[in-house]
Amino acid sequence: MNKPYVIANCAMSADGKIALPTRKQLRISCNEDIERMYKLRNKYDAVLVGINTVLSDDPKLTVKEKYVEQPHQPIRIILDSHCKTPEAALAADGVAKTFIIAAEKCNKKYGNNVEVIQCETDQNGFIDLEKLLDLLYDRGIKMLMVEGGSTVIWNFLKQRLADELYVYIGPMIVGGKDTPTMADGEGIKNIDELISLKIVETSRIGPGILIHYKMIK
């Protein structure tokens, strides 16, 4: 299978939460970390999120020009089997290209610069990530940045489809047993399914810490 090089990036609290208990967005990254994230985005061909992130946070997923010398807008990719992406979503605002990855039955039309691409689903009814990565590679996407949320990051890690992971840990506690964490999904069933990581680098960024991992496959 051909696949782009995949990194996942997210920001979490000291107790591993990535949003508020209401699942609404929580600003965890400091300004320096946000700058790091934009610089990273600027190097990638595409950035990818799940539909729940679009519905809860309405992210724009572009590169802010003040943070980089030569801005390049990555393709914005939304995993959205049933085309629930609102027409007014910022990630589909036409200023950069957007791919909405839908199940084969879904064929909604959006505005300029937004393409609905149908992809096979897996046994859980989710977009089949291996098929998707193959398809994205054929469309010229060689470097992909996965930005969440929990279910999407879980599936990329569980299926060993991410190559690297960046986690910014902000000095705060959110709590709540149902608050989203960096990797939710169904979790592993046996110890031999543990997803092992190797720490490449740790650095202090503002009040928090960035950990850069490589996946051990």
Ligand X SMILES: NC(=O)c1ccc[n+]([C@@H]2O[C@H](COP(=O)([O-])OP(=O)(O)OC[C@H]3O[C@@H](n4cnc5c(N)ncnc54)[C@H](OP(=O)(O)O)[C@@H]3O)[C@@H](O)[C@H]2O)c1
| Nearest alpha carbon to residue 24 among 63, 62, 60, 58 | 58
Q: Decide if residue 181 touches ligand X (CB under 6 A).
A: no
Tokens of 189: 């069933």
Strand pairing of 114-118 and 197-205? unpaired
Which element (helix H / strand E) includes 117?
Answer: strand 114-118
215 binds ligand X (CB under 6 A): no
Residue 105 binds ligand X (CB under 6 A): no
Q: Interface with ligand X includes 152 (CB under 6 A)?
A: yes
Residue 82 vs 139, nearer CB to ligand X: 82
The residues, any chain, with a CB within 8 Å of residue 190's CB and separated by 6 or more, are: none
Measured from the CB of residue 165, what is the shortest distance to ligand X in angstroms? 12
- Cα–Cα distance for residue pair 33/40, rounded to 1 Å: 10
Token look-up 């960096």 returns 182
Q: Does 180 bind ligand X (CB under 6 A)?
A: yes
HSE-CB of 41 using CA atoms within 13 angstroms: 26
Min CB(70)–ligand X separation in Å: 25
Residue 128 CB, shortest distance to ligand X, in Å, is 7
Could you say which of 4, 74, 149, 208 contacts ligand X (CB under 6 A)? 149
- Minimum gap (Å) between residue 124 Cβ and ligand X: 8
First and final CA of the chain: distance in angstroms? 16
Q: Is 170 in the site for ligand X (CB under 6 A)?
A: no
* Interface segment toward ligand X; rule CB under 6 A; list 86-94, 142-150, 186-194, 197-205: 142-150
- Beta bridge partner(s), residue 114: 98
The answer to whether 46 and 75 are in contact (CB under 8 A) is: yes
Give the whole-angstrom CA distance, residue 87 versus residue 177.
33
State which of positions 25-54 bind ligand X (CB under 6 A): 25, 28, 49-53
- Residue 13, phi then psi, degrees to nearest 5: -80, 175
- Smaller CB distance to ligand X: residue 82 or 198? 82
Q: How far is the CB of 137 from ligand X (least distance, A)?
A: 16
Shortest separation between residue 96's beta carbon and ligand X, angstroms: 18
Residues forming contacts to ligand X in the complex (CB under 6 A) are 10-11, 18-19, 23, 25, 28, 49-53, 56-57, 79-82, 84, 126-127, 129, 147-152, 155, 180, 184
